[in-house]
Amino acid sequence: MLHKPALLMLDDGACFEGSACGAALEAAGEVVFTTGMCGYQETLTDPSFYGQIITFTAAHLGNYGVNSHDDEAPSPAAQGAVFHDLFTGAEEIPFPHWRAEGSLNNKMREAGLTGIHGVDTRSLTLHLRARGSRNGVISALDLDKPSLLRRARELPSMKGLDLAVRASAGRHYVFVPEEKMNRPALARPLERPEEKFKVAVMDFGLKRSILLHLHVNGMEPEVWPATATAEDILASGPDGVLLSNGPGDPEPCGYAIRTIRDLLGKKPIFGICLGHQLLALALGGKTYKLPVGHHGMNHPVKDARTGQVTITSQNHGFNVDPDSLPPRVFPTHWNLNDGTLEGLASSGEPAFSVQYHPETSPGTWDAHYLFPLFRRLIIESGKPLGGKYAQA
């Protein structure tokens, strides 16, 4: 099966040859690239990749296997995966890594995730960087290029797609970590460690690591579906609200924007990734689609208040327009690669957000301090951050 021919066809006619891996079927979606050197299991199960085909720029993937601890969601969220060299040397024997419980290829096959390996991913990445993210189709079933091109061109643009409802678990539950889950280390000792705070988490495509970070920082997560109303959330008596990551275009998510607008000023709010974009829209800002998007765990971000630079993990195709923000909302972080906005806070309400992923998984621990900052905001009874933002 690993030598069965497969094609990746982009909607501009560029075609890349390789061999099928995972579930040797078909996949269709927006083709993007991620620059992480490891963390492929966390990447493939990150719900922010819903509707996308992920190209891994790292040359060798699958070399340390997979396990039952590192999934960010119960099943892969991506539509498909593209590899240069997929390690398949231990398909039928115990995997040569102490944490491994199986191979990446077998996990993809069992989950129904289609992939292609043996691809010139350097050429593909340079093509996407020059032309922008493109829609595409992976197929091991239909190798007729005109047919694949027609189907790739029929796929809808990511702009205008509301994917948060599809990526959300769609149910209300209280999060209790299982014993097998890896607990992240605390960024710093807890302030008033004897106190626990209830946090309502709006699930737009939530990563499990966000819930674990809240838990170890003395906050008890109660998860709500993407379509939850402010009335339902407030009736549960939370001490704060977290707006999760997720996929797609934020602007069509009017239901979420209305809920966030109704929550502003009533409870402290912390937004991550899509949650950051939705908070900006609720505050009166605007968003736009990036030509390529930010996907990986090596993006440098500068704190506008302190000048400190952190290396961040990112996964998004849309961004907040800083010129659209109202006067009471101020930028807090900037991307040093392309100058895009990476964080904001409101001087009128207790609300702040970041475009990157402070929970990482995968990535560095540089931004873990944002969870204690959220806890402090709750402890201070929801006073607006203002100039205190950088003092966490």
Active site residues: 273, 357, 359
AA letter at 128: L
- Containing H/E element for 215? helix 208-216
Burial of 266 (0-12, 13-18, 19+ CB in 10 A): middle
Q: Which long-range contacts (CB under 8 A, 24 or more apart) does 343-348 make?
A: 343/276, 343/301, 343/304, 344/276, 344/279, 344/280, 344/283, 344/285, 344/320, 345/384, 345/385, 345/386, 345/389, 346/264, 346/283, 346/384, 346/385, 347/384, 347/385, 347/386, 348/265, 348/384
DSSP 8-state class, residue 142: -
Q: Which two tokens stand for residue 135?
A: 């829609």
Q: How far apart, in whole angstroms, are the C-alpha atoms of residue 118 and residue 159?
A: 30
Q: How far apart, in whole angstroms, are the C-alpha atoms of residue 20 and residue 138?
A: 9
| Cα–Cα distances in angstroms (integers) from residue 84 to residues 119, 137, 251, 278, in the given order | 5, 17, 35, 35
Half-sphere exposure of 12 (CA within 13 A, CB side): 11
| Cα–Cα distances in angstroms (integers) from residue 185 to residues 189, 208, 245, in the given order | 10, 15, 21
Phi, psi of 356 (to 5 degrees): -90, -175
- In sequence order, which ranges of 81-207 are alpha helices (DSSP H)? 104-111, 121-131, 145-154, 164-167
